[in-house]
Amino acid sequence: MKKFLIINGPNLNMLGLREPDVYGSLTLNEIIAHTETRVKDFGFDLNVEWYQSNIEGEIVSKIQSALSIDITALIINPAAYSHTSVAILDALKIVKKPIVEVHLSNTNKRDEFRQKKLTAMAADVIIEGQGKNSYLLALLSQLL
């Protein structure tokens, strides 16, 4: 069975409450349930580990832990750390598997400070602006 690790960065545990006009009204758990249901509808039976942390170093350690597990791809929404974290970029560069960076919103249409995405320099695929379908599309990008 194919295994995926999906890492979510700071404030994504607040989805549902957080700027619903930008990120939608679903909680992270509801997006997880939506993703798992829809991916099964597409006929895929996957082992997906979901991880969320508000702490940069914990995210770095989780990325490092992916080196010792057999994953098909690493999917990450680094959230605000995408725009600031050299440490997360450097950790992602160590990963030998495909990396998909996800943003629920289309950051290209947003603030100037969101235009720079350091972590995207390590990504093979970038999915933006797809809201609750973002993680589903990230998985499908590695399955189709």
CB-CB neighbours of 118 under 10 Å? 18
Cα dist from 95 to 26, 66, 144, whole Å: 30, 7, 22
With CB under 6 A as the contact rule, the residue among 7, 31, 79, 88 that binds ligand DQA is 79
Is 114 one of the binding residues for ligand DQA (CB under 6 A)? yes
Which residues in the 17-76 window bind ligand DQA by CB under 6 A? none
With CB under 6 A as the contact rule, the residue among 53, 105, 119, 142 that binds ligand DQA is 105
Helices (H), ranges, 7-115: 20-23, 28-41, 56-65, 86-94
Handedness of CA 40, 136, 31, 122 (dihedral sign): positive
Smaller CB separation from ligand DQA, 67 or 113:
113
With CB under 6 A as the contact rule, the residue among 24, 63, 100, 103 that binds ligand DQA is 103
- Which of 100, 93, 91 shows the shortest CA–CA distance to 135? 100
Least Å from the CB of residue 68 to ligand DQA: 27
Least Å from the CB of residue 8 to ligand DQA: 9
Q: Is 103 a catalytic residue?
A: yes
Q: At what angle do helices 28-41 and 134-141 cross, to 10 degrees?
A: 40
Binding stretches for ligand DQA (CB under 6 A): 11, 77, 79-80, 82, 103-105, 107, 114
Which residues are annotated as catalytic?
23, 103
